[in-house]
């Protein structure tokens, strides 16, 4: 599904990533933990093709990322990769259903197909009755579920989540973690999750710790 080899990233004389190897398959949840400033978000952005590595290889769904031009890469990213951030980044002037649909419009999908898919996701994520609400009218947990639905709309191979429960209270954080498990089990969804939340890291299939530019395997 995704394989990264020997990823190196430096900012001036700071080597943030010093030769990272990372792989993930369908229906796997991997957590990345580690101290603040260790380079977790940097790695997530590179694996998610939002940022370039200085050196290294990245293959997603049998497609090497190297050499893709900007337009091809952004189309590829929109289709193959979903993102969930700590702050949901929903567009305030659009409803929940419209926010979920945006990546599908960008991908040029047909209206009937988009409507059906949005409906399925609203049901799956239990936010059907919030479909016509704008983000400010939703609770934090509901906003984050809308953001997850938006990440899933184009059926990406992999979803990257950067501190997804960092802004939620413990009940909503627990619900979000259960949702990730459900999506893994029911859709075979793969997730890479950067988190400081011990419970979230614990429910992952595998944990990796980022420290001193290296990624180590944690039990």
Binding site for ligand ATP (CB under 6 A): 11, 16, 34, 36-42
Strand ordering across the sheet containing 14-24: 14-24, 2-11, 55-60, 63-64
Q: Pick between residue 35 and residue 188 the one whose CB is nearest to ligand ATP.
A: 35
Please provide the DSSP assignment of 92-113 as one string: TTS-HHHHHHHHHHHTT--HHH
- The least CB distance from residue 39 to ligand ATP, in Å, is 4
Provide the minimum distance between the beta carbon of 196 and ligand ATP in the complex, in angstroms, as a whole number. Answer: 7
| CB count in 10 Å sphere of residue 70 | 7
**Pair 175, 136: CB distance under 8 Å:** no
Residue tagged 């101290």 (tokens): 35
In whole angstroms, how close is the CB of 73 to ligand ATP at the nearest point?
19
Q: Which residue lies nearer to ligand ATP by CB, 40 or 88? A: 40
Match 């059907």 to its residue by tokens: 128
Instruction: Report the residue number, 75 or 166, with the smaller CB distance to ligand ATP.
Output: 166
> Taking phi first (over 0 means left), then psi (-120 to 50 degrees means alpha), and beta for anything else, what does residue 88 get?
alpha
| Least distance in angstroms from the C-beta of 101 to ligand ATP | 30
CA separation for the pair 125, 118 (Å, rounded): 10
Question: Of 16 and 152, which has the nearer Cβ to ligand ATP?
Answer: 16
Nearer to ligand ATP, 34 or 164 (CB): 34
Structure tokens at 11: 């900012």
Contact indicator for 84, 168 with CB cutoff of 8 Å: no
Complex with ligand ATP: residue 121 or 161, whichever CB lies closer: 161
Quote the least distance from Cβ 165 to ligand ATP, whole Å. 14
Rounded least distance, CB 14 to ligand ATP, Å: 6
DSSP state of 138: S
C-alpha to C-alpha distance for 32 and 41, rounded to whole angstroms = 9
């Amino acid at each position: 599904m995704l394989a990264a080899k020997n990823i190196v990233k430096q900012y001036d004389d700071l080597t943030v990533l010093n030769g990272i190897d990372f792989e993930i398959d369908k229906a796997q949840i991997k957590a990345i933990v580690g101290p603040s400033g260790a380079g977790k978000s940097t790695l997530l952005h590179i694996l998610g093709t939002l940022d370039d590595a200085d050196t290294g290889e990245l293959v997603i769904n049998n497609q090497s990322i190297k050499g893709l031009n900007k337009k091809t890469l952004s189309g590829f990213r929109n289709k193959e990769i979903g993102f969930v951030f700590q702050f949901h980044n929903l567009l305030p002037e659009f409803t929940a259903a419209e926010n979920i649909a945006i990546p599908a419009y960008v991908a040029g999908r047909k209206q009937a197909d988009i409507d059906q898919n949005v409906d399925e996701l609203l049901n799956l994520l239990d936010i059907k009755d919030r479909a016509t609400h704008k983000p400010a009218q939703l609770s934090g947990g509901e906003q984050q579920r809308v953001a997850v639905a938006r990440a899933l709309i184009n059926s990406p191979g992999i979803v990257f989540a950067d501190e997804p429960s960092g802004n939620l209270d413990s009940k909503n954080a627990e619900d979000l973690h259960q949702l990730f498990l459900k999506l893994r089990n029911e859709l075979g969804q793969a997730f890479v999750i950067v988190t400081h939340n011990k419970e979230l890291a614990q429910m992952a299939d595998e944990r990796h710790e980022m420290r001193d530019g290296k990624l180590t395997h944690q039990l």
